Structures are given as C-alpha cells and as structure tokens.
Homo-oligomer: A and B are copies of this chain.
C-alpha cells in the first residue's frame, strides 16, 4: 500500500476475524516499530507479543478500553526501558513513534489494530506490570490488539486549518 494512502486510511480497528495472524506478519510489525526514530537513537523499547488466549482475556479484564483484546489474534505491549535513555524523559515520545509505525505497518499488511493507552494511568501501569512480570525499570506504554479486520471504516477527515499557524502562534 502506498504510504500516504496508508496514513490516510488507517483507522482504529476493534473487531477481528478468527483468521490466524502469521508469525512473519508479526515480525514485520516489530521490524517496523524498531525502525522508528528515537532521541539520540537510544531505542529505549521492548515489545511483549501475546498470543495466549488466557493472557488476551486477562488484558481485556485489566483495561476498560481494551475489551477487544479477548477477540484479537495477538496483542503487542509496547514498553519503555528507562535504563536505555540517553536523554531523560524522552522514552514516551520514542515508544509512541514506534507504536504509530507499528499501526501503519499493520494496516499496510491488511491487519487491523488499535492503540490502547496504558501509561500514564497508574492503575493500568500497575496491572500490566503485574500481569507481564515487568521489572521496575520497564514501563508499559500501551497495548495494541491486532487481527484481520471484521469491520470497515472510511477514512477519517481530521485536517483542520485552525490547527495550522504560520511563523508564530498569531
């Protein structure tokens, strides 16, 4: 799929078919995510790939906006590693760039996915830390349930000239 078309037509997909997602498609997503830029090229990310049905159900129980995880074929939890930061405080941006790249790569492969925020909601961070047995320096940023789409959505038109300024605020 052409890049600008992928960007324009990507939507948050919350309903999935029962078709299996092949391992090589997941690997393509992870390669894409790790191709993202990061502050000082620090790459402060980890990815937990979850396929186990019980784990997917646990995620849907622990995150009120990630109910669709129980019906997904796979979910990827994107985590930040504070010990890998060269520039303190930038891991959220780095891992967010990786997540959006993963979402675009999913859409380009015909997969559907949705970014469910975890950090900085403290209760969700704690719940995911416990479920995934994360060390203290690893922070779960978000969980991305993934599968072949069982819903179709038209492109969203979000462009707003009111959000564009020239040379300064006004």
Interface residues of A, Cβ cutoff 8 Å to B:
1-4, 6-8, 10, 12, 28, 30-32, 34-37, 39, 43, 45-52, 55, 87, 89-90, 92-93, 96-97, 99-101, 103-105, 107-109, 114-115, 117, 120-121, 131-135, 138, 141-142, 155-156, 158-160, 163-170
Contact = CB atoms under 8 A, between A and B. Distances in A.
Contacts of A92: 92-93, 96
Given A43-B158, A45-B163, A169-B132, A104 B3 contact: yes
Given A117-B39, A158-B34, A159-B30, A169 B4 contact: no
B96 A48 contact: no
Contact of A49 (B48, B93, B120, B165): B165
The quantity of this chain's copies bound in the complex is 2
Given A3-B105, A12-B37, A48 B100 contact: no
B108 A3 contact: yes
A163 B101 CA distance: 16
Contact of A87 (B32, B89, B117): B117
A8 B150 CA distance: 28
A62 B119 CA distance: 31
Given A55-B167, A96-B92, A105-B3, A34 B135 contact: no
Given A4-B32, A10-B35, 4 more contacts: A3-B3, A43-B163, A55-B167, A90-B120
